[in-house]
């Protein structure tokens, strides 16, 4: 799994830490949730299965199920 380093200002970090404590989750779990929400908002599929599902969903109904 690739990793990246991010920086937050002190106030943002304190808020993230407070949410983490309140929810009883790790920073990684909060980051996963935040990035999943961001990708969903921008309609970016994650993984091959999601990309294929999205590409089928974008075809007109009369073309679905046809192979040619």
**Which helix H or strand E contains 41, and what residues bound it?**
helix 27-41
Give the integer Cα–Cα distance in Å for 20 and 11: 14
Query: Is residue 14 in a domain?
Result: yes
Q: What is the pTM of this model?
A: 0.67
Domain extent for 36: 10-60
Query: Is residue 67 in a domain?
Result: no
Query: Is residue 51 in a domain?
Result: yes
**CA distances in angstroms from 12 to 15, 22, 39, 47, listed in the order given:** 5, 15, 21, 30
Domain count for the chain: 1
Query: Is there a contact between 66 and 59 (Cβ–Cβ < 8 Å)?
Result: no
The model's pLDDT over 3-15, given as tens digits with 9 standing for 90+, comes to: 899 999 999 999 9
Query: Is residue 1 in a domain?
Result: no
The model's pLDDT over 31-67, given as tens digits with 9 standing for 90+, comes to: 999 999 999 899 888 877 777 887 887 666 666 566 5
Rg (CA), the chain: 18
């Amino acid at each position: 799994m690739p990793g990246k380093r991010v920086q937050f200002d002190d106030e943002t970090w304190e808020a993230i830490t407070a949410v983490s404590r309140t929810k009883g989750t790790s920073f990684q779990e909060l980051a996963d949730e935040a990035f999943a929400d961001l990708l969903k908002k921008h309609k970016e599929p994650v993984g091959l299965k999601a990309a294929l599902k999205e590409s089928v969903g974008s075809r007109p109904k009369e073309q679905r199920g046809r192979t040619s």
